[in-house]
């Protein structure tokens, strides 16, 4: 296959090629990203997002893997589809949400909101890799950040919307997590908690998914866990560390054909299982009445 936007040797492709990263970073990015009510409201307006949140997450993950690993032709087809959807996403907050007043506008093509979405993905990609595979060197972190900025640019994000270095991003994230602007809408709280604990898979896979979900919650910044009300005791922390260590050890003994590659099969399974549950009257997520 012809090289795409992230050819072999690029840090983004290398990091995302680890299946453990692909299985966890998206959930973390969505949970953390929902702490900003403006982009959350803007991206939650589709029926699919409300009724089948895991299908939306899985379809997004499949699209991103096409951009990570596919040819430029394949990636461009995905990008055209996303651009078409983004043209329909604009509006304003209907009510006050934390420090963001009613009437605050949102637009999928707003440079700040595009950066926000990319930054959540980039940070979650790095955290998942360093938690489940190995630490990155300073140079590798900078290369990974540069690749994620390139990813954002493919969707139309202006280059100057993003901090110049990975260290700058760390400072920006710390300011967000420890400031007073994080806020969850009522829907975001329900969706985030569902994403953290309810991934739909066949019963035989449920034990493994419970471990994965625990790892995802363990990778959240403590202020985000507190905002959602996720209980996190020393015992939770210990079990998270043991699970993460087990995944890291597996990279020394599990063959590449098992641990390296995309997660399309898992994403398709999640989509099918969620559809079955919704059809049977057992939706993945039940939102409170407005």
- The predicted structure's pLDDT at residue 226: 97
pLDDT in tens, 139-165: 999 999 999 999 999 999 999 999 999
- Domain limits of the chain? 11-279
Q: Tokens standing for 171?
A: 């400072």
Q: For residue 198, what are its two tokens?
A: 């309810």
- CA 34 to chain CA centroid, Å, is 10
Give residue for tokens 């063959």.
Answer: 255
Q: Give residues with Cβ within 8 angstroms of 132, minimum separation 6.
A: 18, 20, 21, 24, 215, 244, 247, 248
| Alpha helix positions (H), the chain | 11-16, 19-22, 25-33, 37-43, 47-51, 53-69, 72-86, 111-132, 138-154, 166-177, 186-197, 206-218, 222-228, 234-253, 256-259, 264-279
Q: Is the pLDDT of residue 11 over 80?
A: yes
- Which tokens hold the place of 23? 């299985």
pLDDT of residue 52: 79
Kindly indicate the confidence band of residue 283, based on its pLDDT and cuts at 50, 70 and 90.
confident
pLDDT tens-digit series, residues 72-127: 999 999 999 999 888 888 899 999 999 999 999 999 899 999 999 999 999 999 99
pTM metric for this prediction? 0.93
Nearest in space to 116 (alpha carbons), one of 36, 48, 44, 194: 36
Residues 219-275 pLDDT 10s? 999 999 999 999 999 999 999 999 999 999 988 888 877 789 889 998 999 999 999
pLDDT tens per residue, range 215-232: 999 999 999 999 999 999
Residue 92, SS3 per DSSP:
strand
């Amino acid at each position: 296959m012809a090289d795409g936007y992230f050819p072999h040797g690029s840090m983004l492709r290398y990091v995302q090629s680890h299946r453990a990263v692909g299985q966890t970073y998206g959930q973390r990015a969505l949970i953390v990203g929902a702490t900003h009510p403006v982009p959350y409201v803007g991206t939650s307006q589709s029926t699919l997002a409300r009724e089948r949140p895991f299908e939306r997450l899985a379809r997004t993950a499949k699209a991103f893997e096409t951009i990570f690993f596919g040819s430029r032709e394949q990636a461009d087809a995905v990008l055209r589809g996303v651009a078409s959807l983004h043209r329909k996403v604009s509006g304003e907050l209907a009510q006050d949400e934390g420090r963001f007043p009613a009437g605050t506008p949102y637009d999928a093509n707003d440079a700040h909101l595009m950066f926000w979405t990319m930054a959540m993905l980039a940070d979650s990609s790095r955290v998942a890799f360093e938690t489940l595979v190995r630490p990155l060197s300073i140079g590798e972190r900078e290369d990974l950040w540069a690749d994620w900025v390139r990813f954002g640019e493919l969707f139309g994000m202006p280059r100057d919307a993003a901090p110049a270095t990975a260290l700058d991003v760390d400072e920006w994230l710390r300011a967000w997590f420890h400031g007073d602007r994080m806020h969850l809408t009522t829907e975001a709280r329900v969706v985030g908690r569902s994403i953290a604990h309810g991934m739909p898979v066949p019963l035989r896979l449920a034990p493994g998914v419970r471990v994965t979900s625990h790892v995802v919650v363990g990778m959240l910044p403590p202020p985000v866990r507190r905002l959602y009300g996720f209980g996190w005791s020393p015992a939770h922390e210990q079990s998270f560390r043991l699970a993460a260590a087990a995944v890291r050890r597996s990279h020394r003994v599990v063959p590449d054909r098992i641990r390296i590659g995309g997660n399309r099969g898992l994403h398709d399974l999640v989509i099918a299982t969620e559809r079955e549950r919704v059809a049977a009257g057992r939706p993945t997520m039940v939102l409170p009445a407005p």
